[in-house]
Structure 1
Amino acid sequence: MHSEEGHQISKQTLDAADWVILVTSLKQKDFATADVLALYRLRWRIELGFKRLKSLIGLKGPPGTDEQLRQTSCSGPFADYSTA
């Protein structure tokens, strides 16, 4: 099988595509598999939202090396956006 770019897709890659592997510290007796998958999907949507916000405000990475300045610089735009 070939990908769109013409590269050969290995059998191992195709076999792995049938799997969803999540590593969690949640206890199996407390959370059903469907609940863990739902939480993961929600978390992934949040991550994509932050990625989009960072792209919109042009944030490529934390500025400077001062920890307090970095936290203020990173959380400020998101706090402003979330309270608008």
Structure 2
Amino acid sequence: MTIASILGAIVIGAIIGAVGRLLLPGRQPIGWVLTIVVGIVAALIGTAIAQGLGVATTDGIDWIELVMQVVLAVVGVGLVAGLRRSRV
């Protein structure tokens, strides 16, 4: 991995995590760093699923892959927020 690909993953993860957090109704008691981490993990898992289904490499924007990543981010943010609420 190059520095550019690592920075790209962080930026994409931040965007995916932020969109996932915005789509989740209510308030989430997690910080922005945890949101970025959830977004990065969701982006990686979503890409792996899309590659497994054969929809990761299309012409233009990979909308199906993007939707998978955002849905996984919503689920991830919800799970992390739920775990944080149960501890507090």
Q: Normalization by structure 2: what TM-score?
A: 0.34
Structure index of larger Rg: 1
Task: Give the structure with the higher percent helix.
Answer: 2
The structure showing larger relative contact order (alpha-carbon pairs under 8 Å, at least 6 residues apart) is 2
Q: Normalization by structure 1: what TM-score?
A: 0.35
